[in-house]
Structure 1
């Protein structure tokens, strides 16, 4: 259980000591002090306390270098200030059909109550992939240690927490501590999407690589194209020289053909 001090928060440099008297014959000093941001003792947490029906006597002594601190004492029923531990052995069994998921647990540990009907439970189930500002699922409250979650979707992943408080018994009516979060559900399978993305990325990369290589090859070919050699007018015969020679021979042949023939004779 825990106890907070409200009578000394306006006084600086106050050092408090807590004492608890059980059955008027068992005195125990505070085991774990609760401190504020200035390091002052403002509360106490007692562990492994045996809670019974009779009231316990609490005494708070304070000390200060500046002024006298008046003590504070009170008779308190311990079960009213007890902070319940989380429910035990929380399990989730999902079948995937219309029955949904079956959630079970056991009552929190107490030293004086063992009846299941003495507790009320609060179950919080949230969609893990849903943003926090959009989470509107209110916790569900039940009286037994079993709950059937009917809105189960195997393609989603859920986070489960549960806590307890007393109901109609000598158990604290304040909600206790939440259990450790439990995840269940398969969630979305992103593997196929990743594979498709990688395939598309690979195809685009190969296409770009081929384009770059082709462009580079074309540039390389244009840069290193053969350089034309100068014409050798003395040793090389070109088409133009052959054509001129052919024309000259043709003219010569024509001239010879048109020349008149002369007869030669011998006069006797």
Structure 2
């Protein structure tokens, strides 16, 4: 249903449609005075129509008003329907359905505006609409990588020659509110990571001590000649001089067997 309203003080509206005069079917009144005309059925209108407004008064004569109006210039489209959004890892695709119009128009006669905005933003945030020309498939692809915040998109339409914009369509939402984890989630992850690391290290140390108990070290022979721990356990023989190396004379006794 399309609404054409003539905002004049009037008493009678006459339409000349294909050489036929039709009176306004439904007047809009204010305190008993006709101030507008509502057309619920536009099947009788053509692309160009002659409108005549007459008025009568007992005191003075009222000048009539007439105008030749083009329905394309005064028609306001319904908003686009079936607005959907589908996303992958890098992009989002918006689709919509061309609005129904009184005059039959092709997709080239339409101009669209898309309002893509992030939800829960601060008031007063400027968001410029995206202009999209009419297309046979009526779609718009824009980059949006994951993870993406909660967004909403709405669309309006107009004739490309007049730009008498329709109202905005219902918003289609996409994205998620859980894109950025809160600080509480980060702290919880850090605590869990610390606990896991502590359990792993505790398990490893426990296994090490258990191995030590099962396989104790082999006791070594105690050196009674050298109980002084300050003296080095190993002494290089070549460091001694010949005099120091022979503290006493050695006597060699040779025994031979005589037959």
Q: Which segment is superposed worse, 38-47 or 128-137?
A: 38-47
Greater C-alpha Rg: 1
The counterpart of 1:2, out of the listed 4, 13, 33, is 4
The counterpart of 2:170, out of the listed 180, 183, 190, is 180
- 2:15 maps to 20
Q: 5+ unaligned residues in a row in structure 1: which ranges? A: 9-13, 197-268
Deviation track 1:211-260 (CA, whole Å, cap 9, x = no partner) reads xxxxxxxxxxxxxxxxxxxxxxxxxxxxxxxxxxxxxxxxxxxxxxxxxx
CA contact (8 A) 1:158 1:185 kept: yes
- 2:132 maps to 141
Q: Which segment is superposed worse, 67-76 or 83-92?
A: 67-76
Aligned equivalents of 1:34, 1:164: Cα separation in 2? 31
- 1:131 maps to 122
Aligned equivalents of 1:141, 1:117: Cα separation in 2? 11
CA 1:29 to 1:67, structure 2 compared with 1: closer, same or farther past 3 Å?
same
Question: Matches of residues 52-67 of structure 1 in structure 2 within 5 Å?
Answer: 52-53=46-47, 55-62=48-55, 67=60
Question: Matches of residues 110-129 of structure 1 in structure 2 within 5 Å?
Answer: 110-129=101-120
Deviation track 1:133-180 (CA, whole Å, cap 9, x = no partner) reads 123333333332110132366442222211111236xxx541122212
2:96 counterpart of 1:102: no
Aligned equivalents of 2:105, 2:76: Cα separation in 1? 16
Q: 5+ unaligned residues in a row in structure 2: which ranges? A: 187-259
When normalised by structure 1's length, the TM-score is 0.55
CA 1:143 to 1:155, structure 2 compared with 1: closer, same or farther past 3 Å?
same
Cα shift at 1:45: 4.0
- 1:201 maps to none
Cα shift at 1:17: 4.0
Question: Matches of residues 21-40 of structure 1 in structure 2 within 5 Å?
Answer: 21-25=16-20, 27-31=22-26, 33=28
Local SS of the residue matching 1:117: helix
Aligned equivalents of 1:164, 1:15: Cα separation in 2? 32
When normalised by structure 2's length, the TM-score is 0.57
2:65 counterpart of 1:72: yes
Local SS of the residue matching 1:134: coil
CA contact (8 A) 1:3 1:81 kept: no
